[in-house]
Structure 1
Amino acid sequence: MAAMREIRRNALTATAIAASEDAVETARRHLVQPWPFAGSVGAEARALIGEGDGIYITDGDGKRLIDGPAGMWCVNVGHRRKELAEVMYDQAMALSYNTPWYTMNAPSAELAERIAGHAPGDLSHVFFTTGGSSAVETALRFMQFYNNVRGRPEKKLILSRGGAYHGSTYLSASLNGRPRDRDWMDGADELIVKLSSPNPFRRPAGMSVGDFADFLVDEFAETVARIGAGRIGAFVGEPVQASGGVVIAPDGYLRRIREICRQNDILYVSDEVVTAFGRLGHVFASDDVFGIEPDMITFAKGVTSGYFPLGGVVISARLMEELRRSNHPDAMFGHGLTYTSHPVGCAVALRNLDLLEGGVLEHARQVAPYFQAKLKTLEELPLVGEVRGAGLMACVECVADRESNDPLLIDKDVGKRIDAHCHELGLLVRPLINMCVMSPPLVISTEQIDDMVAILREGISRTMEDLRREGVWRG
């Protein structure tokens, strides 16, 4: 009997691998991948993922891997949660869709109320989108509408920072400040004012972290004074710059920027697409972690733990009241999406929020210090320049050339090299040039953290050996 089960298992594995090979070839012929290079666009296949379970995924070859990035910062409650699959099915059977233009559904109203209950200050109104990019786009279009209605059509400029990532739609992508994101892409440059990256690791040589914070705040204030507050509509900032390399600004910086915005009637948009719904141990991190009450918060990713595309913007009641008191009651906010307030997505988000409130948030807060401490031990390795992070998100930044302050001058493939070794060892890493970003599902255990860090350590060690053998690094 056991032999028959083994034969059946092997047959199923062989069938799955054959199907995977077919999918890879089909992708090369027909599937356009996101963020492709011109030399391979429309003819590229990437690592195929077949299944997920808890903190693990299985690739097309049947290899089991720790899902180090949790998909893309989003599979917060883990893969294969039956509770989310069931509510998705139940809601689709009850109501799969309704037009948001002139009808509504109950799950979206309930979800808006629950999200507002977690939001700081007077943020009490929610507009649902399909993801993070459309959430940021919505916040910016709302800012434009708000200032038009208030008779301030010139107050439209947007402040963003070096190292930022806010999306892929036209206006949200215009805010991005990561190296190479905009090299070949157009944007609304006339609307954007870029500020320095708040990355303490890359601060000017000889400058203390405290002085760096003062520099950033002074730069912000001087920019507002130079341009004029009457022309600046919003500042958009991530509490932690996620895709920029898990950059955490100096302590108190965000609170000081928030105060300058308040004094100059500049809307503060806190982009929590990554940090919301548990990544830092709270539904929202703006106030609970960083002590700020913004005018708007954008969210996505963890709101459904990646089980359904959903995002949104939480908006201050003050802004709504000011619009209602204006002299233009017939002015229309001409913005909406076919899938705004999608009933299936909102139902999934409600159940996901149950799971978060029912113990996942508390677990994330408990294991986060262990996660950060274990990863910090990787700074013992000569190739590692810094390990930084907060909650269950971290970045291991590798520095081959310690004399340079520009990460693009070192081996640009270091992150990919580490990821390749880690994949072989049983860990999926998110490589960003010279950085490895880790943001596992929030349900990860301390034992699984040990496994993850051990594999990452070995992957970095093997990469160091490769670089030495090739004669490009002597560390």
Structure 2
Amino acid sequence: MTDNKNINMQDVWQQDKDHYIHPWTDFSTFKETGSMILTDSDNVHVTDGEGRKYLDGIGGLWCVNIGYARKEMAEAIAEQIMKIPYYSSFGHHTTIPAAQLAAKLAELAPGNLNHVFYGCGGSVANDTAVRMIHFYFNQLGKKSKKKIISRIDGYHGSTYMAMSITGVKFDHIGFDIEEELVHHISCPNPYRRPAEQSLEEFCDEKVQELEDKILELGPDNVAVFFAEPIMGAGGVIVPPKGYHKRTLDVCHKYDVLYVSDEVVTAFGRLGHMFASEDEFGIVPDMITCAKGLTSGYLPLGATIISEKIYDVISKPQADGALFTHGYTYSGHPVSCAAGIKNIEIMERENICGHVKDMGAYFEEQVKSLIDLPIVGDVRGRKFMMCIENVANKETKELINPDAKVGNRIADHCQARGLIVRPLAHMNVLSPPLTLTKEHIDFLVATLRESIEATMADLKQEDFI
């Protein structure tokens, strides 16, 4: 571990509070409480500024898939820095890692998704997808095909366009979004379907809703449907069986492109390098990815596109015209070197196989929490799980939002050496993919204790 003895943690805490604007800051508490300082890490654990160790139940943010402090990852990054740390990819320059990683992603991606555009993260990957798709239809002379359909509770990033595509309404409060281009259909959450409705009927309804929305907007106006294979930040929503295949068919019926947002699900979280085909049986027109691409060691995202799209956008639209899209750090060689090493480690250690085996145990153990009085639903797959807490299991009525039940559970977990993510009345688990049975047993036992402690905290009015 790094020697932090000469660092005054109180000074760091104050500097952070005074100057660092954090993503998703709760300003009602931050100005008093400030931030938890994390200083060290090892495999599935992180350590805070006071030397306390925690099992990281959220993998940083869905992303530290191969675990923390991998020496060979650090060496690969350092080696590339000493060779060439950066060069612009504009003007037909490239580097070895950028080219090699693109070829590897093309090999791993389903179907003929053979072409890779790099950015710095998932939001940028989805923004890139929109610009490419609009350009694609412009090239085909279908210039009215601009509109975007996504889903309520879908999450696609926080740049202006990506947040507009995002359907988590809470994230829009106080901010502007693009409402002319982007249209949302309802969330395919089986837990919240009417009691009398079968899963098959629910799936029929959600697929029909997509087709109805395309027809309402006009097929000549709709360009793309964005969908996460499993909806992450919206509450780990696993749609009913057949949903993705049927929505893909609807899209192709009306010449609407399908973007599979695999920013969370790619690179092992569900036991596959990409989940679209291997887990859900679809080959989309584009896949966007980030997070687990480098296991969070360095920022990197990618938009992977099909031959059909590439064949159109790779033709000059006019004499002397360029494909004028890109970023200073597109194909950053050090980030790409981290991506190559990350995939090498995953393949060598068969991390996807480990997730398939250990993920089944993880699912089973987390689902054992369903016996607790406030746990209404436990859902997800493999190393991507969610616990939804309710006031009444029969009616699925929510606990009073002012009780902040998700935060209470997360606080109790943290006091016991476990970090989980609160999302309103829910708690999300997305740990490093290197968890062992012993880690899982500790995680689930700690969650049980923390939910029980939270129940003891709650007052009668919280259930009204």
- TM-score w.r.t. length of structure 2: 0.95
Taking the TM superposition and a 5 Å limit, the aligned residue runs for 1:25-174 are 25-37=14-26, 39=28, 45-102=34-91, 103-174=93-164
Give me the whole-angstrom Cα distance separating, in 2, the residues matched to 1:376 and 1:17.
44
Contact 1:401 1:410 in 2 (8 A): no
Residue 233 of structure 2 corresponds to residue 243 of structure 1: yes
What is the letter of the counterpart of residue 55 of structure 1? V
Contact 1:167 1:173 in 2 (8 A): yes
- How far residue 119 of structure 1 moved from its aligned partner, in angstroms, is 0.6
- How far residue 376 of structure 1 moved from its aligned partner, in angstroms, is 0.4
Give me the whole-angstrom Cα distance separating, in 2, the residues matched to 1:329 and 1:257.
38
What is the letter of the counterpart of residue 314 of structure 1? I
Contact 2:263 2:291 in 1 (8 A): yes
What is the letter of the counterpart of residue 21 of structure 1? Q
Task: Give the counterpart of 2:344 among 343, 348, 354.
Answer: 354
Give me the whole-angstrom Cα distance separating, in 1, the residues matched to 2:394 and 2:273.
40
Give me the whole-angstrom Cα distance separating, in 1, the residues matched to 2:31 and 2:307.
46
- TM-score w.r.t. length of structure 1: 0.93
Structure 2 SS opposite 1:354: helix
Percent of aligned positions that are identical: 42
Contact 1:123 1:296 in 2 (8 A): yes
Structure 1: 5+ residue stretches without partners: 1-11
What is the letter of the counterpart of residue 153 of structure 1? K
- How far residue 79 of structure 1 moved from its aligned partner, in angstroms, is 0.3
Structure 2 SS opposite 1:190: coil
Structure 1 SS opposite 2:275: coil
Give me the whole-angstrom Cα distance separating, in 2, the residues matched to 1:436 and 1:242.
11
Give me the whole-angstrom Cα distance separating, in 1, the residues matched to 2:209 and 2:169.
21
Task: Give the counterpart of 2:449 among 445, 452, 458.
Answer: 458
Structure 1 SS opposite 2:461: coil
| 1:182 aligned residue | 172
How many correspondences in the alignment? 462
Give me the whole-angstrom Cα distance separating, in 1, the residues matched to 2:86 and 2:336.
11
Taking the TM superposition and a 5 Å limit, the aligned residue runs for 1:179-258 are 179-258=169-248
Residue 23 of structure 2 corresponds to residue 23 of structure 1: no
- How far residue 402 of structure 1 moved from its aligned partner, in angstroms, is 4.5
Give me the whole-angstrom Cα distance separating, in 1, the residues matched to 2:326 and 2:22.
26
Write out per-residue CA displacement over residues 31-56 of structure 1, whole angstroms, 9 at most, x where no aligned residue. Answer: 11112245567787221111110100
Give me the whole-angstrom Cα distance separating, in 1, the residues matched to 2:456 and 2:335.
47
- How far residue 331 of structure 1 moved from its aligned partner, in angstroms, is 4.5
- How far residue 131 of structure 1 moved from its aligned partner, in angstroms, is 0.5
Taking the TM superposition and a 5 Å limit, the aligned residue runs for 1:334-373 are 334-358=324-348, 359-373=350-364
Give me the whole-angstrom Cα distance separating, in 2, the residues matched to 1:123 and 1:298.
11
| 1:317 aligned residue | 307
- How far residue 443 of structure 1 moved from its aligned partner, in angstroms, is 0.6
- How far residue 259 of structure 1 moved from its aligned partner, in angstroms, is 0.5
Give me the whole-angstrom Cα distance separating, in 2, the residues matched to 1:231 and 1:120.
28
Structure 2 SS opposite 1:283: coil
- How far residue 232 of structure 1 moved from its aligned partner, in angstroms, is 0.3
Structure 2 SS opposite 1:385: strand
Give me the whole-angstrom Cα distance separating, in 2, the residues matched to 1:373 and 1:457.
14
Two-structure CA RMSD over aligned residues (Å)? 2.1
- How far residue 123 of structure 1 moved from its aligned partner, in angstroms, is 0.3
- Farther-moved stretch of structure 1 (43-52 vs 415-424): 43-52
Structure 1 SS opposite 2:386: strand
- How far residue 163 of structure 1 moved from its aligned partner, in angstroms, is 0.7
| 1:4 aligned residue | none
| 1:9 aligned residue | none
Contact 2:375 2:393 in 1 (8 A): no
- How far residue 406 of structure 1 moved from its aligned partner, in angstroms, is 6.7
Residue 423 of structure 2 corresponds to residue 432 of structure 1: yes
